[in-house]
Amino acid sequence: MLILLVAYLGGVLTILSPCILPVLPFVFARADRPFRSHGLPMLLGMALAFAAVATLAAVGGGWIVTLNEYGRYAALAVLALFGVTLLFPAVADRMTRPLVALGLRMSEPRGNAGEGAGTASIFSPLLLGVGTGLLWAPCAGPILGLILTGAALNGASVGTSLLLFAYAAGACTSLAAALLFGGRLFAAMKRSLHAGEWMRRAAGAAVLVGVGAIALGLDTGLLARLSVGTTSQLEQALVEKIKESNKPQPPREAHAEPVALREDTDLVRVSEQEVRPAAAPARELKVEGNFPSLAGATEWINSTPLTPESLRGKVVLIDFWTYSCINCLRTLPYVRAWAEKYRDAGLVVIGVHTPEFAFEKRSANVRKAAKDLGIDFPVAMDNDYAIWRGFDNRAWPAFYFIDAEGRIRHHQFGENRYDKAELVIQQLLAEAGQKIRVADGLVTPLGQGTQAAPGAQPALSGETYLGHERAHGFASPGGIVRDQAKVYQPASSSLRINQWAIAGDWTVEAERAVLNGVGGRIAYRFQARDLHLVLGPAANGKPVRFRVLVDGKPPLADHGSDTDAEGHGVIDAQKLYQLVRQAGGAKDRLFEIEFLDAGAQAYAFTFG
């Protein structure tokens, strides 16, 4: 209820913005007419316009993601145009002149009142309301921007629709007040026009300066920090409240108990047998629900689009994963082995790639990761979390087992319990009456690098995010400065277990820390066998060289799969890097990484 109230108040406050002034003459032109026949249709038209804008935002979100780096240039072009219209009101006047003319024509009274005039009188204010809404929306301020951004990134949802309705209701309340009180409100607003114009031009100049800086790559974090609104300070304060209350909470990874490495080096292939009822799983396989739709996939890899109907008669394993998740990577050897072993017996494995970080929404990144990881089974890109919500999923990695009749019969979260998962597959195939011969026994693959099983000793260090949105354990002097460049001082000598610090010129954004200069460092005191770090190269794609130290020395035998014995490595893609794998098991160590080039992006530590 609080979020809806904030959205409603944001809508009410939009009328205080100076750039709403050109819209008000259309409203006041109707102030002397009956509210029921003229005011209400206008309000309805305005609500329809807001709904149309929100729908375009939701539908266009996936398109913008598909544009990848070209979307950045499009965004810069739009910002530049917006800055020009703020700086030069004459340009904005020319751009909106067609809508203004249409509004004035619709505001003119009808000369004839014959048959059908009632219909015309309703249709005219309805269209005027639509035009008013389209003119109103660009001035609507940051709260509407947050709602529309949520729709674009997360897809349409009941929550977004309710927030938009509350916002539109607030804006319509302002419009209704304007209709009822007419010229008095307009006169009061007009007194603020001169100051508003100067604010408008100053904002336009700031936007153009920011666009130039971003285009030149001078500050990759400026776009997110740029303020272009001329809305009142009260609305801006409400933005912070709605940000905290309404932002989607990313799901957490499911961590299972670690298991010891297996001695086997390949799939077990003892003898061949028919698929028959196996030893009963730990519990009876009850029906947990029907196979949800896969229509929400934004793209398919290794397959044409699949549907529950087209998979009827097959046993299906749904694997929710994302390619920078260490827990997901460690399950892949088993998932690949099941897909290979039981493919001819009627098993279809579908990897549902639901991203955690923004870079995991890029098709090129996911396709490259699938190829590098040896994934040849179908992968559905779930950028909008539509499939995730359909399954009511809660974690990465997550397995859902679906029988030949399209019913969910079992699910499990996290790593380990692979034997139980395979027994479920065997049982569902046997229930389907499959007679294909497969290798006897259970698969026991040995993963390498980031796909290796976790250590025998439990890791006492847990997943740690470097973006300010979910950061914890940060120990650099002065704390994190959000979304602004700052030179941080070293604190590695005083770090306690599970504390981390940065040194050098960094900008800590919501989901990552970005290095602005050469020689930046990150330190972390950890206790685990393996240390991984999700990293990305510079924004322009240029690789970033780095060097790792463990307790102040090169890692030697304790180096990870993405470093050499001297600790040297290169960041050439946005992915998870294994930087330390201790030969002697989990120990309390001080990890340090120094970046020899500017632009490194650091997202999250994970351990094993």
Q: Pick the more confident residue, 48 or 180.
A: 48
pLDDT digits (tens, 9 = 90+) for 57-103: 545 544 444 444 444 455 456 556 656 765 676 665 666 566 555 55
What sign for the dihedral angle of Cα 255, 256, 257, 260? negative
pTM of this structure: 0.60
Question: How many domains does one find in the chain?
Answer: 3
* Domain membership flag for residue 457: no
pLDDT at 176: 74
Q: CA 127, CA 124: separation in Å to the nearest integer?
A: 5
Tell me whether strands 252-253 and 395-396 are parallel, antiparallel or unpaired.
parallel
pLDDT at 607: 94
pLDDT at 417: 93
* Domain membership flag for residue 115: no
Q: Which two tokens stand for residue 75?
A: 């965004």
pLDDT at 151: 53
pLDDT at 403: 97
Q: Is the pLDDT of residue 331 over 50?
A: yes
Q: Pick the more confident residue, 157 or 294.
A: 294
Q: Is the pLDDT of residue 454 over 80?
A: yes
pLDDT at 523: 97
Q: pLDDT class for 522, splitting at 50, 70, 90? A: very high
Largest CA distance in the chain: 94
Question: What average pLDDT does this structure show over 163-180?
Answer: 73
Same domain, 398 and 534: no
pLDDT at 433: 87
CATH of the domain at 265: 3.40.30.10
* Domain membership flag for residue 458: no
Same domain, 445 and 488: no
Mapping DSSP to helix (H, G, I), strand (E, B) and coil, where does residue 379 land?
strand
Same domain, 447 and 496: no
The least confident of 258-272, 475-489, 582-596 is 258-272
Same domain, 375 and 428: yes
Q: CA 133, CA 140: separation in Å to the nearest integer?
A: 10
Q: CA 300, CA 284: separation in Å to the nearest integer?
A: 33
Q: Of 4-18, 475-489, 491-505, which one has max mean pLDDT?
A: 475-489
CA terminus-to-terminus distance, the chain: 42
Domain around 472? 464-607
Q: Which two tokens stand for residue 596?
A: 């020899």
Same domain, 426 and 510: no
Q: pLDDT class for 6, splitting at 50, 70, 90? A: confident
Q: pLDDT class for 507, splitting at 50, 70, 90? A: very high
pLDDT digits (tens, 9 = 90+) for 113-135: 444 444 445 666 676 667 666 65
Percent of the chain predicted with pLDDT > 70: 59
Q: Is the pLDDT of residue 304 over 90?
A: yes
Q: Which residue has the tokens 């949105």?
A: 469
The overall average pLDDT reported for the chain is 76
Question: What average pLDDT does this structure show over 243-250?
Answer: 43
Q: Are 530 and 568 in contact (CB under 8 A)?
A: no
Q: What angle do CA 250, 252, 255 make, to 5 degrees?
A: 165
Q: CA 511, CA 523: separation in Å to the nearest integer?
A: 18
Q: CA 200, CA 84: separation in Å to the nearest integer?
A: 10
The least confident of 21-25, 63-67, 520-524 is 63-67
Name, in order, each residue with C-beta under 8 angstroms of 392's C-beta and a sequence gap of 6 or more: none
pLDDT at 71: 46
Same domain, 435 and 303: yes
Question: What average pLDDT does this structure show over 12-16?
Answer: 66
Nearest to 44 by CA among 145, 143, 176: 176
The verdict on whether omega for the bond into residue 397 sits within 30 degrees of 0, i.e. cis, is yes
pLDDT at 490: 86
Q: CA 133, CA 46: separation in Å to the nearest integer?
A: 4
**Domain's final residue, options 430, 451, 472:** 451
Beta strands in 443-499 (DSSP E): 464-465, 485-488
Q: Which amino acid is at 504?
A: G
pLDDT digits (tens, 9 = 90+) for 27-67: 555 555 666 666 677 777 777 776 666 555 545 544 444 44
pLDDT at 534: 98
Question: What average pLDDT does this structure show over 462-490?
Answer: 94
* Domain membership flag for residue 177: yes
Question: What average pLDDT does this structure show over 421-425?
Answer: 95
- CA neighbours within 13 Å on the CB side: how many for 567? 18
Q: Are 579 and 548 in contact (CB under 8 A)?
A: yes
**Domain's final residue, options 397, 422, 451:** 451
DSSP letter at 132 equals H
Same domain, 242 and 262: no
* Domain membership flag for residue 456: no
pLDDT digits (tens, 9 = 90+) for 360-394: 999 999 999 999 999 999 999 999 999 999 999 99
Name, in order, each residue with C-beta under 8 angstroms of 56's C-beta and a sequence gap of 6 or more: none
DSSP letter at 36 equals I
CATH of the domain at 509: 2.60.120.260
Q: CA 234, CA 552: separation in Å to the nearest integer?
A: 50
Q: Is the pLDDT of residue 257 over 50?
A: no
Q: Of 115-129, 365-379, 447-461, 485-499, which one has max mean pLDDT?
A: 365-379
* Domain membership flag for residue 114: no
Mapping DSSP to helix (H, G, I), strand (E, B) and coil, where does residue 491 land?
coil
Q: CA 530, CA 517: separation in Å to the nearest integer?
A: 28
* Domain membership flag for residue 459: no
Rounded alpha-carbon distances, angstroms, from residue 354 to 244, 383, 462, 605: 23, 6, 21, 19
**Domain's final residue, options 246, 275, 304:** 246
Exposed (0-12), middle (13-18) or buried (19+): which is 55, by Cβ within 10 Å? middle
Q: Pick the more confident residue, 154 or 570.
A: 570
Same domain, 41 and 173: yes
Same domain, 6 and 135: yes
Q: Pick the more confident residue, 418 or 145.
A: 418
Q: Pick the more confident residue, 271 or 593.
A: 593
Name, in order, each residue with C-beta under 8 angstroms of 363's C-beta and a sequence gap of 6 or more: 66, 68, 299, 381
pLDDT at 44: 78
Same domain, 193 and 163: yes
Q: Is the pLDDT of residue 538 over 60?
A: yes
Q: Is the pLDDT of residue 448 over 60?
A: yes
Q: Report how many helices (DSSP H) and strands (DSSP E) the chain contains, helices first.
A: 16, 22
Same domain, 53 and 198: yes
Question: What average pLDDT does this structure show over 469-479?
Answer: 94
Q: Pick the more confident residue, 209 or 318.
A: 318
Percent of the chain predicted with pLDDT > 90: 48
Same domain, 346 and 429: yes
Q: Is the pLDDT of residue 159 over 50?
A: yes
Helix, strand, coil fractions of the chain, as percent rounded to 5:
45, 20, 40
Q: Are 106 and 127 in contact (CB under 8 A)?
A: yes
pLDDT at 93: 60
Q: Are 503 and 490 in contact (CB under 8 A)?
A: yes
* Domain membership flag for residue 80: yes
